[in-house]
Amino acid sequence: MSANPHHSLSQNLENGNPTPSKSSSSSSNVVGVHYRVGKRIGEGSFGIIYEGTNLLNNQQVAIKFEPRKSDAPQLRDEYRAYKILAGTPGIPTAYYFGQEGLHNILVIDLLGPSLEDMFDMCGRKFSIKTVSMLAKFMLTRVQSIHDHNLIYRDIKPDNFLIGKPGTKTANNVFLVDFGMAKQYRDPKTKQHIPYRERKSLSGTARYMSINTHLGREQSRRDDLEALGHVFMYFLRGSLPWQGLKAATNKQKYEKIGDKKQSTVIKDLCDGFPEEFGIYLQYVRKLGFEETPDYDFLRELFTKALKTSGETEDGVYDWMLLNDGKGWESMSKQATRRAAAQQPHLNNQKKAAAYDKAAASPAKNHAHDHTGDGFQNDTRATKPPLKKKKSFMQKIFVCGA
């Protein structure tokens, strides 16, 4: 009896091997009929990510593998979200979802590094110009999701990627990883979901809205508030509620929420254009079902650029690295040297390496991101795996 190539691939995945063994069938690293599995490029709580190739057109793709017996499978839901958003600018294309042996697989566009990666490369601070330009694109991506009747629920720098190096979209901003997205209104009637409290928590504690900390049902306003926290993280280099200590994860999570509520917006945004404070004040005052004025919010960052004397020319901080050659031209050694030369980076870099964690597959799973990993709600059944992230071995892939 001939060997089952799919079983061979699954066995190798279980063993953590990046590609099938030489002794296996030559077709054992082909999935979804015509996608060849290449090197392993990352892992998350859902499973493993591989680089791949579409054998019909030689296009590079990313292939996500998730155990079919996962306690909280997410790839099918993620695939559905990608299909709802198909054709939307800044949203990668999903090409295939199916089963392969013991795994679910999702084939998607292979993109570039995340904004968190670029943040690291730039010494863990972005200029007002870069943040203002990014803010407008990030707002547009989130608005596109909302226009398709979805809320994202896990806004964080890791989930915003730039395009693949050397392509025409190399510095475009993409939003990826829709495992926690949720429909907030009926697509036909536009009836909004009802307001509820004592909800299971979803998102990353560092960035999530105050209402999410309070257990309130999320809506569009919560995605936008989380974006505001990301903007200030980029400008400041850190947020006041990072690094809090507590005896348990639950207590630490509560401390993060308390600190957010007690931090005055004026103090949080001190030293930066007033438009960033106006943004946070606006989104925190939005009603549960209220439609945000996205144009007004984008215009705030146009004003921030003007008041700072900056030009909106699409030149980001990472494009000026290495004497203007950009981050792509930097070797591993140069990357390490660049990081080492940032006086404020060393301790933060160590902390960041420790407190980064993979996105949760569970809809009821809140990420702590303060050093101890995660705060789980009572229904979360499986602790997440931590990503192994070094910049030049980064997961240049959707949803990494």
Give the active site residues.
154
Here the tokens at position 397 are 């892939």
DSSP code per residue over 158-203:
GGEEEPPTTSTTTT-EEE---TT-EE-B-TTT-PBPPP-SSPPP-E
Handedness of CA 216, 221, 226, 229 (dihedral sign): negative
Using DSSP's 3-state secondary structure scheme, residue 52 falls into strand
Nearest to 88 by CA among 147, 168, 135: 147
In angstroms, the CA 307 to CA 278 distance is 14
**266 in a known ligand binding site:** no
CB within 8 Å of 169: residues ≥ 6 apart: 163
In angstroms, the CA 280 to CA 272 distance is 13
Contact 305, 312 (CB under 8 A): yes
Q: What torsion do the CA atoms of 134, 314, 177, 232 make, to the nearest 10 degrees?
A: -20
In angstroms, the CA 222 to CA 67 distance is 31
